[in-house]
Amino acid sequence: MIPKDTIDKIFDAARIEEIVGDYVTLKKRGANLLGLCPFHNEKTPSFTVSPAKGIYKCFGCGKAGNSVNFIMEHDQLSYPEALRFLAKKYNIEIEEKERTPEEILSQNEKESLYVVCTHAQKYFSNNLLTTDEGRSIGLSYFKERGFRDDIIEKFQLGYALDDRKAFTNDALKKGYKAEYLVKAGLTVNKEDAGGNAPSPISETHLFDRFSGRVIFPIHNLTGRIIAFGGRILKTDKKLAKYINSPETEIYHKSNVLYGIYFAKKSIISNDVCYLVEGYTDVISMHQAGIENVVASSGTSLTIEQIRLIKRYTQNITILYDGDNAGIKASFRGINMILEEGLNVKVLLFPDGDDPDSFAKRVSNDELKKFIESNTKDFIAFKTMLLYSEVSNDPIKKAQLVKDIVESIAIIPEAINRSVYIKECSRLMDMDEQLLLNELNKIRRKKTNEKNKKENALSEPSLIDEVNVEAPPQPLLPENSIEHQERGIIRLLLNYADKTILVDGNEKDDRGNPLQVNVTVAEIIIDELEHDEIKFSNRSYETIYAAYLKSRTSGQIPDMNFFITHSDVDVTKVAIDLVSSPYTLAKWEQHNIAVQTESQILKKSVYDSIYSFKARQIEQLLDQNSNILKTADRSENLDALIQKQQDLIEAKKYFNKLLGRIVVK
């Protein structure tokens, strides 16, 4: 358990703009910051961060919270895990109470996988630096590649001993469970002769996944170890040169970019991400002082990886070696990047060089100058690479032009498409209008195909045959009181300590009530407690209870009390009700008077209270009416009828206060 005073220190230290800024590129928008939401795919920013309130809110998908909630949501951590992560980031020492055996057993599975991966990294790094085999084989390999000690330490490189049980036996001896070693992909539960893995797990069937290989730990966005890559140093053609961890609960390779943890700040500051192929390319570029570089780790580039980069920049530069076949195969990846609305440039290294080898062959300054002077737009690059192969063949040339125009056609922004068409016209020496006609034809075809697909999905006969999205959530029931409860809580959160002039109990010489200043919280609580009104929504009830408690304590809770609340649902509700996607324009500059809610606060408060009470009465009317339908003389029918009449009169009274005309 983390003590309350330590939790308060963590919340005080964790600046929301710093936490979110590690994952999202934020730009100033008035008093707030704006960026692309990391929780859903969007092209127009709707994700807002308020440094003054210490909150974030996406007006696209509805996600909202504080700095702890953000880490919990983004990295799928529990509340205590997120607190520990932030404590480590801000160098806050946590003195936790000793956990009971039950609490230790309840540790979630994901955290267990993180723990064994962290242990594995330390084990492999220790092998590299302290064992004879690690130093003579693993460390020698890294030194031969020119990696400095500080770079080896930064990327936490390691070595797996050439013994198929060395790691597993060591981990089991230190108390790590075989179940989690297998689930983390570090240990293989070898199949028996029948082809089935033995169950339960037997130590005699356990073997290391990595052996006799140098190890590259793979980090997630927060720097936690989630997987490993291993390179063999033997010249055995039967063995794969590289092997990676399998998919696990914490590692989904299509969502991960090698080096992103070390690169994200540099990507933001340089507003460009360099994309390379392998681990050593990333490491060599870092050693050369270029840190805004990531790798897809030998897998084909995925939409999820592109969107991960998109959080930090709109610009990607792909660094290729001189292998033409590999470059051509990667054109699909370029099209995917373009379709996501990012700007793509390409850099080709000299024949025989890749980013790793070239970075070692030249000085750091020469590398940076080479990148600056040789980076080309993807249209110019694609044309240069392929045009020489087809220049003497009209049919192949026509196909090349069509291929390039198809790439341009998938770009979302019309202005960008126009610029690229103009560039293509110049490079290919072709009429611009002709290219535009081809582009429009391609886009019309895609639009028609999309419409046909959508129409097909809407056909009743096909509904059961296709995987359609879940239907939208149903509207609130007609007699729901959710809207009125929400209105009351919104006023408390925004104006609880504001005062309003109301009629007091004392009168002046003329018999008129003397007006007194009363807080919004006092007015709402007095009105609701007088009629013993309760909230049906649990989060609203929790928030109201905190204000009710202030009657005795004399201390009205501020917004920060709810933003840092341990109940995540309460925090989200509170942030949702104090956030707005709109800001009021400065109409007064144009001599236009606009009333704000704070200027008509008294009316807003009483209207909300009367609406809440009116809805409560409507619910009571419905309940009493249902009882009347089945009641007989023995059930005090006269009393039920009188209650119904009283409720109808009460409903008329509150509707009159609200200026409503009741027709029935």
Q: Name 25's Cβ contacts closer than 8 Å, sequence gap at least 6.
A: 35, 36, 268, 311, 312, 313
Strand partners, 55: 50
Query: In terms of pLDDT, which residue wins out, 558 or 592?
Result: 558
Local structure of 48: helix, strand or coil = strand
Same domain, 288 and 401: yes
CATH number at residue 197: 3.90.980.10
**pLDDT mean over 31-37:** 88
pLDDT of residue 3: 79
What letter does residue 15 receive in the DSSP assignment? -
Is 227 exposed, middle or buried, given 0-12, 13-18 or 19+ CB atoms closer than 10 A? buried
CATH code where residue 49 lies: 3.90.580.10
The band of 98, judged by pLDDT with boundaries at 50, 70 and 90, is low
Q: What is the distance between the alpha carbons of residues 346 and 381, in angstroms, rounded to a whole number?
A: 7
pLDDT digits (tens, 9 = 90+) for 223-282: 889 999 999 998 777 888 999 999 998 999 988 999 999 998 899 889 899 999 889 999
Would 18 be classed as within a structural domain?
A: yes
Q: Specify the pLDDT at position 454.
A: 58
Average pLDDT, the chain: 82
More confident position, 294 or 631:
294
Q: Which of 6, 60, 57, 7 is nearest to 32 (CA)?
A: 57
The verdict on 247 and 265 lying in the same domain is no
The total of structural domains in the chain comes to 4
Do 313 and 241 sit in the same domain of this protein?
A: no
632 - beta bridge partners? none
Establish if 378 belongs to a structural domain. Answer: yes
Q: What pLDDT is stored for residue 284 in this prediction?
A: 93
Spatial neighbors of 394 by CB under 8 A, at least 6 apart, are none
Show the 3-state SS of 513-545: EEEEEEEHHHHHHHHHHHCCCCCCCHHHHHHHH
Question: Up-side HSE of residue 190: CA atoms within 13 Å toward CB?
Answer: 12
Q: Which of 123, 371, 110 is nearest to 249 (CA)?
A: 110
Q: Is residue 464 part of a domain?
A: no
Quote the pLDDT of residue 102: 52
- Residue keyed to tokens 């693993």: 138
User: Is residue 536's pLDDT more than 70?
Assistant: yes
Helix/strand/coil for 402 = helix
Asked if residue 282 and residue 225 are part of one domain, the reply reads no
* Pairing between β-strand 273-276 and β-strand 242-244 as defined by DSSP bridges: unpaired
Half-sphere exposure for 636 (CA within 13 Å, toward CB): 6
Q: Are residues 394 and 277 in the same domain?
A: yes
- pLDDT score of 584: 47
Mean pLDDT of 117-122: 96
Q: What separation, in Å, do the N-terminal and C-terminal C-alpha atoms of the chain show? A: 58
Q: Using an 8 Å Cβ cutoff, are 402 and 395 in contact?
A: no
Q: Which of 251, 275, 306 lies at the terminal end of a domain, its last residue?
A: 251
Residue 97 has pLDDT above 70, yes or no: no
Residues 6+ apart with CB under 8 A from 362: 370
> Are 381 and 524 in a shared domain?
no
3-state secondary structure of 556: coil
pLDDT value at residue 552:
77
Helix (H, G, I), strand (E, B) or coil at 605: helix
How many CA atoms are closer than 13 Å to the CA of 145, on its beta-carbon side? 22
How far lies 612's CA from each of 252, 524, 617, in Å? 48, 11, 9
Burial 359-386 (b: 16+ CB within 10 A, else e): bbeeeeeebeebbeeebbbbbebbbebb
* 284 neighbors 269 (Cβ within 8 angstroms): no
Tell me: the pLDDT tens digits for 138-158? 999 999 999 999 999 999 999
pLDDT tens figures, 430-484? 888 988 998 898 888 888 877 776 565 445 443 333 333 333 444 445 457 888 8
Structural domain includes residue 322: yes
Confidence of residue 634 (pLDDT cuts 50, 70, 90): low
Under DSSP, the state recorded for 230 is E
Is residue 280 within 8 Å of residue 356, measured between CB atoms? yes
Whether cis (ω within 30° of 0) applies to the bond prior to 200 is: yes
Look at residues 624, 596, 621, 579 and name the one whose alpha carbon lies nearest to residue 481.
Answer: 621
628-647 average pLDDT score: 73
Burial per residue of 502-538, b for 16 or more beta-carbon CB atoms within 10 angstroms, e otherwise:
eeeeeeeeeeeeeeeeebbbbbbbebbeeeebebebe
| Helices (H), ranges, 554-635 | 559-563, 568-578, 601-630
Domain span at 341: 261-445
Look at residue 589 and tell me whether its pLDDT is greater than 80: no
Whether residues 358 and 236 share a domain: the answer is no
pLDDT digits over 179-201, tens only? 999 999 999 988 644 455 555 67
Give the pLDDT confidence score for residue 200 in this predicted structure: 63
Place of tokens 């009741």: 662
Model confidence band, residue 355 (pLDDT cutoffs 50, 70, 90) = confident
- Please give the model's pTM, rounded to 2 decimal places: 0.64
CA 287 to chain centre: 30
Q: Say whether the peptide bond before residue 460 is cis (omega within 30 degrees of 0).
A: no
Other beta carbons less than 10 A from residue 601's beta carbon: 17
What is the amino acid identity at position 9? K
- DSSP secondary structure letter of residue 218: E
Asked if the structure places residue 600 within a domain, the reply is yes
Evaluate whether 442 touches 405 at the Cβ level (below 8 Å): yes
pLDDT of 41 over the 60 cut: yes
User: So what's the pLDDT on residue 612?
Assistant: 87
Residue 199 phi, psi dihedral angles, 5° rounding: -140, 130
What number of other Cβ atoms are within 10 A of residue 388's Cβ? Answer: 9
- Residues 429 and 486 placed together within one structural domain of the fold: no
Which of 49-63, 88-102, 348-362 shows the lowest mean pLDDT across its residues? 88-102
Residue range 5-14: mean pLDDT, rounded: 84
Position 463 in a domain? no
pLDDT value, residue 593:
47
| % of the chain with per-residue pLDDT over 70 | 85
- In this structure, the answer to whether residues 76 and 135 fall within a common structural domain is no
Q: How many residues does the chain have?
A: 664
Give a yes or no: residue 201 inside a domain: yes
Residue 217 has pLDDT above 70, yes or no: yes
pLDDT at res. 193: 41
Are the C-beta atoms of residues 294 and 274 closer than 8 Å to each other? yes
On the CB side of 173, CA atoms within 13 Å amount to 7
Mean pLDDT of 164-184: 93
Same-domain status, 130 and 21: no
Compute φ and ψ for 513, nearest 5 degrees. -65, 140
Q: At CA 112, angle to CA 111 and CA 118, rounded to 5?
A: 90
Which tens digits make up the pLDDT trace of 328-342?
Answer: 666 778 888 988 888
Q: Which helix (H) or strand (E) holds 384?
A: helix 378-390
Q: 3-state SS of 152-189?
A: HHHCCCEEECCCCCHHHHHHHHCCCCHHHHHHCCCEEE
- The answer as to whether 142 is a domain residue is yes
List the structure tokens of 230. Answer: 């291993």
One domain for residues 564 and 602: yes
pLDDT for residue 262: 93
Distance from C-alpha of 302 to C-alpha of 145, rounded to nearest angstrom: 29
d(CA 405, CA 469): 33
Candidate from 9-18, 19-28, 489-498, 552-561 with smallest mean pLDDT:
552-561
Among 445, 469, 502, the domain boundary falls at 445
Is the per-residue pLDDT at 583 higher than 60?
no
490 in the same domain as 567: yes
DSSP state of 566: S
Q: Which of 201, 230, 251 is the last residue of a domain?
A: 251
Say if residues 265 and 292 touch (Cβ distance below 8 Å): no
Higher pLDDT, residue 105 or 238: 238
DSSP code, position 104: H
Phi, psi (deg, nearest 5) at residue 438: -65, -40
